[in-house]
Chains A and B, each alone.
Chain A
Amino acid sequence: MGALRFTAILLAVGAFYAFCIAFADVDLWRLWKGLPRLAAWTARAWPPNFEDFSTLLQRAAETIAMASLGTTIGALIAVPLCLFAAANTTPDAVLHVAARGLLNILRGIDSFVFALLFVAAVGLGPFAGVLGIALHSAGSVAKLWSESIETVERGPVEAATMSGAGRLKIITHALLPDVLPALASSMLYIWEFNLRASTVLGIVGAGGIGQELKSSIDLLDFPRVFAILLIVLAMVTFVDQVSAMVRRHLA
């Protein structure tokens, strides 16, 4: 019986991957043939071209600003959303379902897709990126936050309930302090994630360093691409470090 089940699971997993490989058009031969070209480009990329460094820096700053503002606005939207979405803080069953639906929609649509729409609405530039990130992050942050809130012990909240105070006062006084570190930590996590996501938002015209990346690739200017990748790497590493440091302090 056990062996039979094991074989069945193995077959199912095997079939799934066969399906994926067929649909993803995986062709190792093409990779093999393309390798020399990749190698040639890589060789031509050396040394990285940091000419016009100030433009690159400005784009990098744009990227960080976009990710940070987007995350912050998303978090502000997530505040009411997560309180409605968490089973132990929601004031009403209908609002609970509605908030869950809304945050799943926001989370399900990538910043990239939102940014595309906002480029059409507010024009090219980082502002479209900010809005795109904000909407997607609102969903992600609210999801993580509501999950943290749902894991909190109900004891202190019940004790505060016996004071006869209203829901918001109870949440602020008796629930938030114990989850605040977890909430801050997940917001920092989303911030890191958004920085990585914003490095490519320029490709849809939403500003930041992705814009330079796209134009350099279009021009086959590989030393420039190399320089940009180095800056992206430095930027992402820096933000990851800062975020990790703050999170250590929160713990």
Chain B
Amino acid sequence: MTASLRVRDLCKSYDGVRVLDRFSVDVEPGEFVALLGPSGTGKTTLLRCLARLADPDAGEIYVGSHAMHLLSGRALRVARHEIGFVFQQFNLVRRRSALENVLTGRLADVSLWRVIAGRFPEADCRAAFAALERVGLLDYAFQRADQLSGGQQQRVAIARAIVQRSHLMLADEPVASLDPAAAESVLALLRDIAREHRMGVLCSLHQPVLAERFADRICEMRPSPG
């Protein structure tokens, strides 16, 4: 079985300052890897480079069979479909319901006119409801995103990644703006989903305690010498 994620010698500088210096990591399917490091060590930079929301300077990134570092345009879009991304600030569309936000994960396979009309195929809606049920938010399906608590919003964001049926989940400090109870339940959810869907999860954290409790493996990031 191929790895969910293989990163080799990734480099990225901002304004001449090396943020990532030949960084390498592997994540196997079903494995929850915590990316641990104090703030400013390049966790966000790394995750954004992996998703190609930022462009690395050098190195190789394989997500499943996709060579992310080589792709652009349409091929990059197809490859991104394999990556679910969970952001620190949730990044839900405020004025859309939880359900519609989850359906974002199915956007690639739905025709433009259906998106404009807001009429997603029934199978997609069923998948979205199932994902909401899985994260414990079925009762909130029609609630507007900005009326949910932080923990609930992050669960919606995870449901959004579930319906995308990706092979890799990248999570950038997904619990940094949550209270301790919500943080634990979100991390437990991420870990369980990794197992259930045989999905690799790379999740950045800055609290060692949480990393030790939930991660299968910890990958420490140190400040690069600059």
Query: Interface on A for B, CB 8 Å cutoff?
Result: 153, 155-156, 158-166, 168-170, 172-174, 177-178, 180
Contact = CB atoms under 8 A, between A and B. Distances in A.
A164 B77 CA distance: 4
18 contacts: A155-B89, A155-B91, A156-B93, A156-B94, A158-B85, A158-B87, A162-B53, A164-B80, A164-B108, A165-B107, A165-B110, A166-B112, A169-B107, A169-B112, A173-B100, A173-B107, A177-B95, A178-B93
B116 A159 contact: no
Interface string B81-124: 10111010111111110001001111110101001100000000
Given A178-B93, A178-B94, A159 B157 contact: yes
A116 B37 CA distance: 67
* Count class of interface residues, chain B: 20 to 34
Interface in B131-184: 157, 160, 164
B51 interface: yes
Contacts of B93: 156, 160, 173-174, 177-178
A161 to B, nearest CB: 7
A160 B87 contact: no
A4 to B, nearest CB: 38
A161 B95 contact: no
A160 B107 CA distance: 8
* Main SS at interface, chain A: helix
B95 A159 contact: no
Contacts, number: 82
Given A166-B77, A172-B115, A174-B93, A159 B107 contact: no
A172 B112 contact: yes
Interface of B: 51, 53, 77-81, 83-85, 87, 89-96, 100, 103-108, 110, 112, 115-116, 157, 160, 164
Contacts of A165: 77, 107-108, 110
Given A158-B53, A163-B80, A164-B77, A170 B107 contact: yes
Q: 7 closest Cβ contacts across the A-B interface?
A: A164-B81, A155-B91, A165-B107, A159-B91, A164-B108, A163-B107, A162-B85
B197 to A, nearest CB: 16
Nearest to A154: B91
Contacts of A173: 93, 96, 100, 103-104, 107, 115
B77 A160 contact: no
Contacts of B96: 173, 177
Given A164-B77, A172-B115, A172-B116, A158 B105 contact: no
B91 A158 contact: yes
B71 to A, nearest CB: 11
Q: Which of B79, B107, B108 has the most CB of A within 10 A?
A: B107
A161 B108 CA distance: 9
Given A164-B77, A178-B93, A178-B94, 20 more contacts: A155-B89, A155-B91, A159-B91, A159-B92, A159-B160, A161-B80, A163-B164, A164-B80, A164-B81, A166-B77, A166-B108, A169-B112, A172-B112, A172-B115, A172-B116, A173-B93, A173-B104, A177-B95, A177-B96, A180-B95
Contacts of B112: 166, 168-169, 172
Given A158-B53, A177-B96, A178-B94, A163 B105 contact: yes
